[in-house]
Amino acid sequence: MIPDRKFYEEIYGGEDIPDIDRLLTVSGREIDLVIMHPPDNDFSRRQYDLAVCAQAEYMGLCGGVEAWQSLRYIPGSFSVGSFSMSGSSGGSENGSRDGICSRSLSYLEKGGLLYRGCRVWN
């Protein structure tokens, strides 16, 4: 269900990132954890694919899967001696949720994939 390298390069127009195939696979799994339902039409499918590509690019620019995973679990606050720092956890101050970048969330929102209300099925 995830987009391939060809979609990433030709349609999304993503950066040239090593290991993009692995990043697309991992990104697809991460996006699947935050959507409320699978894409059910061509428009939501395209928004899903764009969101996966945006997340893969974000992860790649963060340094790859391992680096991105370590960024997700930054503590909300810490103290060392008399120094203390507080902030939001998981990088949410840059607009992300659960490690999902804000651009991916925008695509998912536009595609109705984050909608939590009642859906009418035909």
> What confidence tens digit (pLDDT) does each residue in 3-36 have?
999 999 999 999 999 899 999 999 999 999 999 8
Q: Does the global pTM surpass 0.85?
A: no
pLDDT value, residue 62: 85
In a domain, 104, yes or no: yes
Distance of CA 85 to the CA centre of its chain: 27
- What's the total number of domains in the chain? 1
The type of residue at 12 is: Y
Q: Give the model confidence (pLDDT) of 29-69 as tens digits.
A: 999 999 989 999 999 999 999 999 999 999 998 888 887 77
Whether the per-residue pLDDT at 117 is higher than 80: the answer is: no
Residue 29 included in any domain? yes
- Is residue 98, in this structure, part of any structural domain at all? yes
**Domain with 100 in it:** 5-72+81-110
Residue at 118 is within a domain: no
DSSP 112: T
> Phi/psi at 84 (nearest 5 deg)?
-135, 140
Does residue 94 surpass a pLDDT of 50? no
